[in-house]
Every structure is written in structure tokens, then in C-alpha cells.
Amino acid sequence: MRNIKLKNLEICTLGSHCSLQVLKGAKDENFSTCLICEKKRYDLYKRYSFIDRILLVDSFEQMLEKPFQQRIKKLNCIFIPHGTLISSFSPDDIEKIDVPFFGNRYILRWEADRILKEKLMVAAKLNVPRAIRDKNDIDRLCIVKLHGAAGGRGYFTVWDRNSFDEGIKKLINLGSISSEKDVYIQEYVHGVPVFLHYFYSPLCNEVEFMGADRRYESDVDGIARIPSKQQLNVNIEPTYNVIGNIPLVLRESLLEEVYKMGEKFVRAAKKLVPPGIPGPFCLEGVYTKDGTFITFEFSARIVAGTNLYVNGSPYSEMLFGKEMSMGRRIATEIRITNSNNQLNKILT
């Protein structure tokens, strides 16, 4: 277990992604809160009174500097990882940061690397889209993705080798990738995309389904606003850049399977990447027309879609009977494990 004092814990995160929700939840559970904030964003974050301490940095890169890490440790902080950490740093760097992390920092490598990601989803026996390793095998609509948590930026659809080569050329010219080896090709699943938010508590060995969202992505979600004939004229090539999130409730008959998928994922994570997945995670996929969920992705930490539910979601309300955001759920887990001397179960 990492060396951490049990009194006066402070909850800390990077100023981006879901930091407001995380720190609001921590404050609701009476923790002190600390934000690592890039100077350019200070004017935004200074507005929020639940942020007790702001550590200003020129860029998040500073998190990798030893003196900065020592400063965070001295403050007795528990660091909450989110998508910006994954998009800002390599898995090697993340593993080296000498500050106690909430959750399993080693599983973040499995999120960032699409091959490892696929391995974990297959091990969990989730339905997954076909992965295409050789561009010559593209024989249907596929989606081409970058590694890491790119938030859909730069993704494009292809239907044969030529369209793939064309798209790759554009990404190389834009400087987004250096070669076609930097992408992952996956069968495009038809249906509706849904993001399922879970929390796993190792204390009671329970998976909690906390909520769901759909993403609002530019410009793919704008295409339907243009008549189809004109879509052809302007030759639109949609991309999947996340702009925001839209709340969603599921048909109640789908919930049983939602729980089963979450439990399968937790079991596989424990086996492949000890200590598994304490804390929040998200299964991301498409419900097909027969109501089957095909998981195209997971996030092994809190997702920004949970920002919708600062006051709790319909599902968290039914589980907890009080306003329970994902940020607050994290803080609750820290509070309880700390009082039971079991922080080692939730920190790495």
C-alpha cells in the first residue's frame, strides 16, 4: 500500500474532463479538494467555491516532475485519474507518478492500448465488434480509431482498402499519426451508441450501475440535419469529436444484462490486471436492433458522461436514495475504506 496518512486526506485531480464533478462530490463528503490547474484555465476554475486549493501549472506535464509529486504527497492527496490523464501521458509515465491513485493505475495501460483493450473485453466474454488487423481485409463498413482516449477526434469510417489509405494519408498530413500502424480498425456496428456507467466496490464485492448517457459528437450527429442529396454534394466525411453528453434511461428489461456485463468485466479485470477495477468504469457500445449490446470500448476510470448526474441519476437514486454523483461515490468509497483501514483495497 502507498504511504498515506489517514487523517486530513485531500482529493486531487487534473482541471479538465470531470474535475468539477469529482471535487464537488469530494466536498459533499467533507474532504478538502485540490485542483491541478493549467494557468490558462484559472479563470474558469476560480469560480467554484468547492475547490479549496488550486495548484497552478504551465502544463499538466509538470505532474511528471518529482518535486511537484512530492508537493502533492505532502498535501496528503489521493489523486483521481480521468480521461485527460490518459490523453496527456503515456502508460509508462502514469505508472511512475509517485502519488496514491484512486483505482488501479495499471489497468489504464489496458485502456490506452487498443490491442490490450480488446484482449480484456474478449476475456470478459463481452460481445465485441470484429477487429480488422489487415487493411486488405476491409470488406464492410469499419471505423478507424487512434490509440488512447482521443475522444473520437480523427476517427473515420472506411469501406475498403482505398478509402482506408485515403483517410490515413489525411491523418498523416495533419500530423495526427506518423503511420498507419498508429490506428485500429474495427467493424462499424449499426444501432444506437450507449455508454454504461458502473462503480465496483471491492468492499462489498458489488457492481453498481450508476447511469447511462449517449454522446453528442461533431459532426456525425449533425449529418442528419442535412438532406441526403446535399450530403453527397458536399462530400461529408464525419468525425466523432465529443462535444457533450445526453442523459439516457434504458428499457428496464435491458438492466439484467447490463449488470451481468459489468460483473463479467470486473471478474476478467481481476484475473488479467490485479487488483482489478475498484471504482468507476464504463462499457461503451452499440445496442443493435434486437437489443444486443456490442461493446466497442471500455474506460477503466470515471467517464465524462457521468457529469450529467451531479445530482445523481435515476439509477443512483434507486440504489442510494440520495443524490449520488460518480464523484461523490468515489469520495464515499474513500471515506469508508479509510475508516475501516482498507485504503489498500482501492489505491495503487
Q: Which chain residues interact with ligand ADP by CB under 6 A?
A: 129, 143, 145, 149-152, 155, 186, 188-189, 193, 215, 217, 240, 284, 286, 296-297
272-303 burial code (b ≥16 CB/10 A, e <16): ebebbbbbbbbbbbbbeeeeebbbbbbbbbbb
Q: Is the dihedral of CA 159, 161, 166, 169 positive or negative?
A: positive
Closest separation in Å from C-beta 7 to ligand ADP: 38
Q: Is the dihedral of CA 102, 264, 299, 321 positive or negative?
A: negative
Closest separation in Å from C-beta 51 to ligand ADP: 26
Pick the closer one to ligand ADP by CB: 112 or 324.
112
Pick the closer one to ligand ADP by CB: 11 or 112.
112
Closest separation in Å from C-beta 292 to ligand ADP: 13
Check if the beta carbon of residue 143 is closer than 8 Å to that of residue 217: no
Pick the closer one to ligand ADP by CB: 83 or 103.
83
Neighbour count for residue 153 (Cβ, 10 Å): 15
Closest separation in Å from C-beta 202 to ligand ADP: 25
The residue sitting closest to ligand ADP, measured at its beta carbon, is 152
Closest separation in Å from C-beta 157 to ligand ADP: 8
Check if the beta carbon of residue 188 is closer than 8 Å to that of residue 157: yes
Write the single-letter amino acid at 239. T
Pick the closer one to ligand ADP by CB: 100 or 151.
151
Closest separation in Å from C-beta 125 to ligand ADP: 18
DSSP H or E run through 200: strand 192-201
Pick the closer one to ligand ADP by CB: 45 or 296.
296
Pick the closer one to ligand ADP by CB: 1 or 243.
243
Neighbour count for residue 28 (Cβ, 10 Å): 18
Check if the beta carbon of residue 142 is closer than 8 Å to that of residue 188: yes
